[in-house]
Amino acid sequence: MENQLTLAKDLFFLEDKSLGRKKFYIIGSIERQISIRVSSVQYKIIQFIYNTLKEQQLSDEEIEKMILDKLAYKINIGELKSYLDDMGLMENSQSRLETSEVKMMGVHLYSTNINEMPSFLIKASKALSFTRWLEPILVLVSLVMILVNLDAVILSSRNHFFTYNKSSIQGALMSMAVSMVVIAIHEIAHVLEAVRQNMSRLDFSVALYAGFIPMYYTQYPEMIALDRKRKIAILSAGLRTNIVMAATALALMGISGMPERLLDLCGIIFLVNFHFILINISPFLMNDGYFMLMNLLGINGLRTKMWQYLRNIIKKRDAKIPDKNRLLFFLYLISSMSIMGINLYITITWVYKIIKEIILLI
């Protein structure tokens, strides 16, 4: 049959609820890593067509007639095929753009695919399941210690941030080493939570972020088909470990009698984790926090829509966006710029101290 409607073979259909408990509908493909939000009517029609075409081949006219007879909806099959093709859900649709900040801005070095989680990861996930309730306890205890020893923490932070053994250069080198360990712990947390959520596939990649920063990261192809709550559990796992490490390190800096180099190390651990927290919660960068926010709000392509809204404001066009979303996009922009500003301040301060030390050595 010429120009027949042929859907991707691995489509999934998901009914979920947003943060406001409003039901929404998602259709996607695990292999293509596509997930789109559709109306309830589109959901019923496309799901019906997908299930029907698995059992028999039908012409466009037969599909239109069957939808009218069975679902009482009159459709234009040509428009439906064009829409599905644009969304990447047809068998021969073009692949869509990458949705990972590291992939978009990184130089790929290495990747490997694991199609079945190793048994040792499954055992480790079960053995470490207690960390779910241990994490908030550690953060709470650390916050109490920080408040009790606040003066000591402030004094220690002034003397031990950005340096190691009274050297900014050594501090920078130590921060690089600590960063590699922190990234490993961050990704392991994602892996263990993914195992708990019954993910069986894992993609591991190494890249140079922005062309020179070494990064390794994990992705879970099956996660796209999970409901909002389970996705957020996986996405937030690494961030939660960063918060625990940052809070614990800062709390230790308030303990009197700690060796100077240990205080330096705690300062570096705090700064590195704080930096990673800011990167991950930044809604502007397409990292964990961005995807968590999209899932919480139920808005796909949040960053793209925010830029469209901003361009319309600058060009004095009608943004055609609901009032509640206009406020959301404004807050999104302000929070993104604020977080990026803090990160920029930390980076500039560290670089300044290193350059200053190099000049003194010369």
* Residue 16 included in any domain: yes
Task: Report the C-alpha dihedral over residues 338, 342, 348, 354, rounded to 10 degrees.
Answer: -170
Is 21 found in the same domain as 70?
A: yes
- Strands 202-209 and 213-219, bridge-based pairing: antiparallel
Q: Is the pLDDT of residue 158 over 80?
A: yes
Cβ atoms of 27 and 48 within 8 Å: the answer is no
Query: Coil, strand or helix: which one is 135?
Result: helix
Same domain for 310 and 213: yes
> Side by side, which strands form the sheet with 23-29?
11-17, 23-29, 34-38
Last residue in a domain, options 56, 86, 116? 86
Same domain, 70 and 139: no
Q: What are phi and psi of 165, to 5 degrees?
A: 55, 40
Pair 105, 193 in one domain: yes
339 — pLDDT class (breaks 50, 70, 90): confident
Read off the pLDDT of residues 245-296 as tens digits, 9 standing for 90 and up.
999 999 999 998 889 999 999 999 999 999 888 888 776 677 788 788 777 7
pLDDT digits (tens, 9 = 90+) for 119-144: 888 899 988 888 888 999 999 999 99
- Look at the chain and report how many structural domains it folds into: 2
| 19 burial via Cβ count (<10 Å: 0-12, 13-18, 19+) | exposed
With the C-alpha atoms ordered 193, 199, 205, 210, is the resulting torsion angle positive or negative?
negative
**Together in a domain, 281 and 343:** yes
Report pLDDT for 98: 47
86, 115, 135 - which closes a domain: 86
Report the DSSP pairing between strands 23-29 and 34-38. antiparallel
Name the token pair of 29.
């493909």
Residue 92 lies in a domain: no
Query: Quick one: 72 and 192 in the same domain?
Result: no
pLDDT confidence of residue 321: 56
What digits encode the pLDDT tens for the residues 201-211? Answer: 888 888 776 55
Question: Are 181 and 300 part of one and the same domain?
Answer: yes
Q: Is residue 278 part of a domain?
A: yes
**Do 144 and 270 have their domain in common?**
yes
Helix (H) / strand (E) containing 204: strand 202-209
Q: Does residue 246 or residue 332 have the better pLDDT?
A: 246
Tell whether 91 is covered by a domain. no
> In three state form, how does the secondary structure of 255-312 look?
CCCCCHHHHHHHHHHHHHHHHHHHHHHCCCCCCHHHHHHHHHHCCCCHHHHHHHHHHH
Sheet holding 213-219, edge to edge: 106-114, 202-209, 213-219
2-16, 36-50, 72-86: least confident range: 2-16
The DSSP H or E segment spanning 39 is: none
pTM: 0.80
Domain boundary among 86, 117, 144: 86
Same domain, 306 and 219: yes
The mean pLDDT of 60-64, rounded to a whole number, is 87
Q: What is the mean pLDDT of the chain?
A: 83
pLDDT value at position 115? 86
Domain with 110 in it: 101-361
Q: Is residue 59 part of a domain?
A: yes
